[in-house]
Structure 1
């Protein structure tokens, strides 16, 4: 007789235990618990992504600065040749000669190379190209002492464009004016 009552009691107790263990709302998916290793992995991925982005930005900045230095260097080489060798200077122009509307005051009309020639440029401004410049304008201040006569000063700008085929910068435009003599 005891077995007759015990068996249903055991069954009811088992069902109650299952009901308590599963919860009242039916079966649920367990909520994932963040572990130290999961948090470390997520932090490591974030640091790795930030590092990769910083490397890419640094590389882009380096290419930008290199392009600007190359443009300025091309202009300085041109200005060094201009007073002494017009043919060699013309090779720095796109098309092999100054543009028809380019003005360089009397720099091309000097009778002989100057005794002194000094060129200074200000920071180039990007005309085209993002994120890497393909065309720039470089402001210049020039000072020269001709073989005969007083010192002359000039101010203006040169525009240069990058030609990818030869990986070279070429002058495309210029506007340089003589400044009045200092009194």
Structure 2
């Protein structure tokens, strides 16, 4: 009798494990309308990445068609190494780097590239890192590694460029830099 008293509330609260077959009163779900958006239920990495990237893309401190932070740094580097100082300086906020740019070694190398017998240049950048708590971030840091091969030696630099949105929001501009030589 005690067992029946204990089992009865469990059956009432938990329900029966029996399943009804045949005359289910709930109608089947309606098929989605042709113009209704579909939601992917497959959580493949590509789909999850695309769904996660959509809100991030909407949050941008610069205009939608503007170059990304890494592209701005690459274009600055290319202009600097071509010897086009005016174009390179235009990438900096205010149209010129600070009185003593922290990438001065790279800038000096660009000025004397013919004398230094520069044979190859390579700049690798990592994904930008937000350096503020604003949403969207208004201060980004692009980590870089630079390799310069001359006739005499190979020079390596490592550091970062910090970027901020231009005043008109049309794109990113360089706010600061820190490049240090890497010793082998």
CA distance 1:58–1:150, shift in 2 (3 Å) = closer
Counterpart among 51, 59, 63 of residue 54 in structure 2: 59
Counterpart among 107, 129, 153 of residue 156 in structure 2: 153
The CA deviation at 1:56 is 9.4
* 1:123 aligned onto 2:127: yes
Do the aligned partners of 1:68 and 1:124 also contact (CA within 8 Å) in 2? no
Task: Provide the TM-score with structure 1 as the length reference.
Answer: 0.61
Q: Per residue, is there more helix in 1 or in 2?
A: 1
Tell me the residue number matched to 1:104.
Answer: 103
Do the aligned partners of 1:67 and 1:133 also contact (CA within 8 Å) in 2? no
How many residues are aligned here? 142
The CA deviation at 1:86 is 2.0
* 1:54-83 residue CA offsets vs partner (Å, 9 max, x unmatched): x99653223458799611110110011112
Runs of 4+ aligned residues of structure 1 deviating over 4 Å after TM superposition are 55-58, 64-69
CA distance 1:58–1:104, shift in 2 (3 Å) = closer
SS of alignment partner, residue 73 of structure 1? helix
For structure 1, the 5+ residue unaligned runs are 1-34
The CA deviation at 1:85 is 2.1
CA distance 1:56–1:167, shift in 2 (3 Å) = farther
The CA deviation at 1:162 is 1.0
**Bigger radius of gyration among the two:** 1
Counterpart-to-counterpart distance in 1, 2:80 and 2:97: 11
The CA deviation at 1:101 is 5.0
CA distance 1:101–1:126, shift in 2 (3 Å) = farther
CA distance 1:128–1:163, shift in 2 (3 Å) = farther
The CA deviation at 1:175 is 0.6
Q: With CA pairs under 8 Å and 6+ residues apart, which has the higher RCO, 1 or 2? A: 2
Do the aligned partners of 1:78 and 1:89 also contact (CA within 8 Å) in 2? yes
Task: Provide the TM-score with structure 2 as the length reference.
Answer: 0.60
